Structure 1
Amino acid sequence: MRKADVIIVGSGVSALQLAKHLSEDTNVIVFTKSKATHGNSSYAQGGISAAIKEDDDPFAHYLDTVEAGRYTNQSQYTLEMTREAPAIINELIAEGCEFDRNPDGHLQLGREGGHHDYRIVHSGGDQTGKRLMKHLIQQLPDTIELYEDHFVYDLVIHENRCYGVKCLTKNGTRTFTAAHVILSTGGCGQLYSLTSNAETITGDGIALAYQAGAEITDMEFIQFHPTLLYKDGRTHGLVTEAVRGEGAVLLNENGDAIMDGVHPLRDLAPRNVVAQTIYQQLQQGHHVYLDIRSISDFSKRFPTVAKLCEAHNIDIQKGQIPVSPGCHFSMGGIATDRFGRTAVNGLYALGEAACTGVHGANRLASNSLLEGLVFGKRLAAFINSTEGLPELPDLPERKPSLHHSIVDLPPVKELQQRMMDLVGMVRTEQQLLQQKEWLDSFRIDEWFTFDLSLLTTKQVTTLFMLQTAWLITCSALERKESRGAHFRSDFPEELKVWQQKQSVHKRNVEKRNIHEPIYL
Structure 2
Amino acid sequence: MKTYNCIIVGSGIAAMQLANHLSNQFRVLVITKSTRRANNSYHAQGGIAAAMGNEDAPFFHYEDTIKAGCDFHNEKEVRVLVENGPALIEQLKNDGLSFDQDEIGQLALGMEGAHSRKRIVHCGGDATGKYMMEHLIASIRPTIDVIENRLVYELMIHPDSKKCIGIKAKDADGNNEVYFSDNVVLAVGGIGGLFSFTSNDSSVAGDGVALAYRAGAEIIDMEFIQFHPTLLYINGKTAGLISEAVRGEGARLVDESGMPLMKGKHLLEDLAPRHIVAKEIFHLRAAGSEVYLDISSIARFEEKFPTITTLCQANGISIEAGKIPVAPGCHFLMGGIAVDSVGQTSIDGLYAIGETAATGVHGANRLASNSLLEGLYYGKKLAVHLNEQIDKNETGATSFYPLKASSLNIPVFPHKEEIQEKMMAYAGIIRTRLELELLEKWINEYDLPAFMDDSLDEWSIENIQKLFMLQTAKLVVNAALLREESRGAHNREDFSVENKRWGQLHIVQSKNGTEMRERQREHTEIEIYA
Q: TM-score, normalised by structure 2?
A: 0.92
Residue by residue, what CA displacement relative to the aligned partner does 1:92-116 show, whole Å, maximum 9, x if unpaired? 0000001100121100000000101
Partner of 1:188: 191
Answer whether contact 2:157 2:402 (CA < 8 A) is retained: no
1:56-455 aligned within 5 A? 56-158=56-158, 159-170=161-172, 172-386=175-389, 387-390=391-394, 395=400, 397-404=402-409, 406-455=410-459
Return the letter of the residue paired with 1:56: D
Answer whether contact 1:60 1:514 (CA < 8 A) is retained: no
Q: Give the Å deviation of 1:396.
A: 6.2
Answer whether contact 2:251 2:295 (CA < 8 A) is retained: yes
Partner of 1:502: none
Match of 2:392, SS state, is coil
Match of 1:494, SS state, is coil
Q: Give the Å deviation of 1:170.
A: 3.8
Residue by residue, what CA displacement relative to the aligned partner does 1:267-296 show, whole Å, maximum 9, x if unpaired? 000000000011011011111110001100
Partner of 2:472: 468
Residue by residue, what CA displacement relative to the aligned partner does 1:45-99 show, whole Å, maximum 9, x if unpaired? 0000000112101010011001010100110001100000000000000000011
Question: In 1, distance between residues paired with 2:112 and 2:421?
Answer: 30
Answer whether contact 1:189 1:202 (CA < 8 A) is retained: yes
Residue by residue, what CA displacement relative to the aligned partner does 1:120-164 show, whole Å, maximum 9, x if unpaired? 000000000000000001111111110011211001102421000
Return the letter of the residue paired with 2:165: Y
Match of 1:165, SS state, is strand
Q: Give the Å deviation of 1:450.
A: 2.1
Question: In 2, distance between residues paired with 1:209 and 1:465?
Answer: 13
User: How many residues are matched?
Assistant: 503
Question: In 1, distance between residues paired with 2:340 and 2:498?
Answer: 29
Q: Give the Å deviation of 1:407.
A: 3.4
Structure 1 residues 515, 451: CA separation in 2 closer, same or farther (over 3 Å shift)? closer
Structure 1 residues 249, 493: CA separation in 2 closer, same or farther (over 3 Å shift)? same
Question: In 1, distance between residues paired with 2:312 and 2:100?
Answer: 23
Match of 1:70, SS state, is coil
Return the letter of the residue paired with 2:346: A
Q: Give the Å deviation of 1:178.
A: 0.7
Match of 2:152, SS state, is strand
Structure 1 residues 396, 96: CA separation in 2 closer, same or farther (over 3 Å shift)? closer
Structure 1 residues 170, 496: CA separation in 2 closer, same or farther (over 3 Å shift)? closer
1:16-35 aligned within 5 A? 16-35=16-35
Question: In 2, distance between residues paired with 1:47 and 1:496?
Answer: 34
Structure 1 residues 89, 517: CA separation in 2 closer, same or farther (over 3 Å shift)? closer
Return the letter of the residue paired with 2:122: H
Answer whether contact 2:59 2:529 (CA < 8 A) is retained: no
Q: Give the Å deviation of 1:446.
A: 1.5
Q: Give the Å deviation of 1:448.
A: 3.0
Q: Give the Å deviation of 1:395.
A: 3.8
Structure 1 residues 179, 261: CA separation in 2 closer, same or farther (over 3 Å shift)? same
Structure 1 residues 424, 318: CA separation in 2 closer, same or farther (over 3 Å shift)? same
Question: In 1, distance between residues paired with 2:423 and 2:319?
Answer: 32
Return the letter of the residue paired with 2:6: V
Return the letter of the residue paired with 2:300: D
Deviates more, 1:335-344 or 1:389-398: 389-398
Match of 2:185, SS state, is strand
Partner of 1:508: none
Question: In 1, distance between residues paired with 2:130 and 2:422?
Answer: 32
Answer whether contact 1:57 1:514 (CA < 8 A) is retained: no
Question: In 1, distance between residues paired with 2:208 and 2:493?
Answer: 30
Over the aligned positions, Cα root-mean-square deviation in angstroms equals: 1.8
Answer whether contact 1:160 1:213 (CA < 8 A) is retained: no
Question: In 2, distance between residues paired with 1:394 and 1:292?
Answer: 58
Structure 1 residues 514, 164: CA separation in 2 closer, same or farther (over 3 Å shift)? closer
Question: In 2, distance between residues paired with 1:313 and 1:274?
Answer: 25
Residue by residue, what CA displacement relative to the aligned partner does 1:428-459 show, whole Å, maximum 9, x if unpaired? 11111111111111111222332212111111
Match of 1:417, SS state, is helix
Question: In 2, distance between residues paired with 1:251 and 1:497?
Answer: 37
Q: Which runs of 5+ in 1 are unaligned?
A: 499-512
Match of 2:330, SS state, is strand
Match of 1:452, SS state, is coil
Match of 1:7, SS state, is strand
Answer whether contact 2:20 2:136 (CA < 8 A) is retained: yes
Structure 1 residues 47, 495: CA separation in 2 closer, same or farther (over 3 Å shift)? farther
Identity of aligned residues (%): 48
Question: In 1, distance between residues paired with 2:287 and 2:500?
Answer: 22
Q: Give the Å deviation of 1:401.
A: 2.3
Answer whether contact 1:51 1:85 (CA < 8 A) is retained: yes
Match of 1:454, SS state, is coil
Question: In 1, distance between residues paired with 2:6 and 2:411?
Answer: 37
Return the letter of the residue paired with 2:215: A
Return the letter of the residue paired with 1:220: E
Q: Give the Å deviation of 1:467.
A: 0.5
Q: Give the Å deviation of 1:496.
A: 12
Return the letter of the residue paired with 2:453: T
Q: Which runs of 5+ in 2 are unaligned?
A: 503-524
Residue by residue, what CA displacement relative to the aligned partner does 1:253-276 show, whole Å, maximum 9, x if unpaired? 111111011111110000000000
Answer whether contact 2:180 2:399 (CA < 8 A) is retained: no
Answer whether contact 2:156 2:168 (CA < 8 A) is retained: yes
Question: In 1, distance between residues paired with 2:301 and 2:33?
Answer: 36
Among 487, 493, 505, the residue aligned to 2:491 = 487
Return the letter of the residue paired with 2:181: A
Answer whether contact 1:110 1:121 (CA < 8 A) is retained: yes
Match of 1:323, SS state, is strand
Partner of 1:13: 13
